[in-house]
Amino acid sequence: MNNRLKVLRAEADLSQGDLARLLGVSRQTINAVETDKYDPSLPLALRMAKIFGVAVDEIFLDDWIAPARD
Q: What is the pairing mode between strands 60-61 and 2-3? A: antiparallel
Model confidence at 65: pLDDT above 60: no
pLDDT of residue 2: 84
Q: Which residue has the higher pLDDT, 51 or 65?
A: 51
Mean pLDDT throughout 54-61? 91
Q: Are 18 and 12 in contact (CB under 8 A)?
A: no
**DSSP per residue, 30-59:** HHHHHTTS-PPPHHHHHHHHHHHTS-HHHH
d(CA 26, CA 32): 10
d(CA 23, CA 1): 20
pTM exceeds 0.75, yes or no? yes
pLDDT of residue 70: 58
pLDDT of residue 64: 53
Give 67's pLDDT tier (boundaries 50, 70, 90): low
All domains of the chain, ordered by start, with CATH? 2-61 (1.10.260.40)
